[in-house]
Structure 1
Amino acid sequence: MNENHTDSLKELQAVNLAMIRLLDEICGRYGLTYYALGGTLIGAVRHQGFIPWDDDVDIGMPRPDFEQFLQVAPAALPEGYRLRTIHTSDAYRTYMVKIENTSVSFYREFYARNAVVEKPICAWIDVMPIDGMPGDRRQFYRHLKRLKTARQMISLSLLDKNMGTSKKRSRKEMLVIRAGLRTGLYRLLNPERMYARFERLCRKYSVTDAPILGNTVGIYGRREFVRREVFGTPVRRKFEDLMIACPQDTDAYLRHVYGDYMTLPPEADRHTHEIRFAKSGNPE
């Protein structure tokens, strides 16, 4: 990691920390529950702040709180911030929800078709729903498969916008993507309709009653889901100069998702995106 990249990363982390503070304030104002997830949670436990090479923020909310947040956030966010979802912008095509700081933009590498391209984007943090799952093993895996298929259909419907054929993809993935782009069959799928189907599946098992809870848009499949008591009542942990909400049994959650999360990975595996700050302002 070169010196310029390190400086840009520190600047981005400072911007992201301000957005965590803002989200925490809004959730407190409206009585909404949230939890730090992913690398943000590892950072809170292992580093009492950002993982030194991490450039994003992962926040999860139980489905009812998540949906209320989507309602109140547009008015609650101050000038210079916005909520981005598949419903708020034709240019935004993914099932992730983001809080963006439109006054700060930076360049980040993306994989597009056969090349790596650099695009200016706003600083953001990810906010994800935490949904219920059935306790019965067979029903759990059946529902998990349906969720995965629904997510794949969303990705397929957005093939020309979100997919690339980089060397990081498997040969099978690249063949499917190239075939899809060449034939144009993905154009027969409506992204909003695919997203609505996915959301219906996510809501099937109520967070209030389900014995298993987890991040339905996470990348770790079944490992994203734990017993409801693991999330439990949020506990506050130090994160830089904040105290942020984390799962009640943080250790059980992190071990289930990551295994030995306290051991630092080899330097070669400390992945970060190549970023550099652009001029202040909305890149769009």
Structure 2
Amino acid sequence: MKEYILKTMDDGHVITVRDVQMVLLEMLKMIDKISKDYDIPYYLVGGSALGAIRHKGFIPWDDDADIAMMREDYEKFLKILPVALPEGYMFQCFDTHQEYTVTIPAMKIRKKHTYVKEANTLLANKCQDGDGLFIDVFIIDYVSERKVVDLIHRIGNDALMPLITLCENLHMNPLGLKKLFVNHAKRYGEKAKGSPLIGYDLTWTFYSPFKPIVYPKSMIYPTRYVPFEDTMLPVPNKAEEYLKIEIGETYMQYPAEKDQQPKHIIDIKL
């Protein structure tokens, strides 16, 4: 297996993508245990789901891990984490940290006594209590079946995103805009509740509002467990159909070799 080096220390010791993946794997196992203990469904998304199906584990060059859960499950997760999270871990989100960047995934679960610097400065961590290696937690919410209604709401939140980012890059904390951004997304999900369609909640604006990632709830739930490295982790029930929407029809094909590179981490300490 090819070795993807993230950092070479002064003494010649290297930190590889595989080193990071092994830490992330332990974190995923910890989250899975909490999920089972408290009956909180979740599933792997994006590259983590692709890795589960195509590689039965991590994509060899992938240097992060992503999970998602329905909003009602996320809110339950948020309530129990302070007591359920083992020593050595912490979490950050807008509910607990007003400086949290709301244009990134809703929550980061971090491993203490580690350090990571992300490649994208627009998504830089603003929280002062930890920069540890993390797992992203995305909120999934209901989506209106009426495409025009959906588009209007998405454009509304998309318009706020650059304003929030600009303020934060000017070292301001635009609390009013951030609350509007988060609350608008939540209200939209509440209005669409009961729809057969779900997708990333409106705080995740990195897809075109004209072509959002949306799928039937029945495609995701009930989730199913599949082999992932040396354990079993949950993916969408119809993961193959989900990946066609999330990644593309050719999701089983490897990208060009030049694109088989880690892309999230520019500095790391384990």
TM-score tier, shorter chain, comes to: 0.7 to 0.9
Q: Does 1:193 align with 2:179?
A: yes
CA distance in 2 between partners of 1:218 and 1:196 (Å) = 12
Q: Does 1:255 align with 2:255?
A: no
Does the CA-based 8 Å contact 2:4-2:261 persist in structure 1?
A: no
Q: Could you say which residue in structure 1 is the equivalent of 2:31?
A: 23
Cα gap change, 1:201/1:270 in structure 2, threshold over 3 Å: closer, same or farther? Answer: farther
* Contact 1:129–1:215 under 8 Å retained in 2: yes
Q: Where do 1:59-98 residues align within 5 Å? A: 59-95=67-103, 96=105, 97-98=107-108
Give the match's secondary structure for 1:29.
Answer: helix
Structure 2 regions of 5+ residues with no counterpart? 8-13, 123-129
Counterpart for residue 210 of structure 1 = 195
TM-score where L is the length of structure 2? 0.81
Q: Which residue of 1 aligns with 2:234?
A: 245
Identify if the C-alpha distance between structure 1 residues 17 and 191 changes in structure 2 by more than 3 Å, giving closer, same or farther.
farther
Higher helix share: 1
* Aligned: 1:220 with 2:207: yes
Moved more, 120-129 or 258-267: 120-129
Question: Within 5 Å, which residues of 2 pair with 1:149-164?
Answer: 149-160=159-170
| Aligned match of 2:125 | none
Equivalent of residue 41 in structure 2, options 33, 44, 58: 33
Partner SS for 1:190: helix
Instruction: Report the number of matched residues.
Output: 247
Aligned to 2:131: 121
- Aligned CA distance change for structure 1 residues 92 and 132 (closer, same or farther; 3 Å): same
Matches within 5 A, 1:262-273: 262-273=252-263
Give the distance between the partners of 2:174 and 2:181, measured in 1 at CA: 14
Deviation track 1:76-110 (CA, whole Å, cap 9, x = no partner) reads 11111011012323553334210000122245545
Shift of 1:73: 0.8
CA 1:218–1:101 in 2, change beyond 3 Å: closer, same or farther? Answer: farther
Identity of aligned residues (%): 28
Unaligned segments of structure 1, at least 5 residues: 113-119, 162-185
Q: Distance in 1 between matches of 2:215 and 2:57?
A: 24
Contact 2:71 2:140 in 1 (8 A): yes
TM-score of the pair, normalised by structure 1: 0.77
Q: Secondary structure at the match of 2:20?
A: helix
* SS of residue paired to 2:190: coil
RMSD: 2.6
- CA–CA separation in structure 2 for the residues paired with 1:59 and 1:18: 14
Contact 1:220 1:257 survives alignment (8 Å): no
- Measured against aligned partners, the alpha-carbon deviations of 1:94-130 in whole angstroms (never above 9, x if no partner) come to 3421000012224554547xxxxxxx93100000110
AA partner of residue 230 (structure 2)? D
Q: Distance in 2 between matches of 1:247 and 1:74?
A: 27
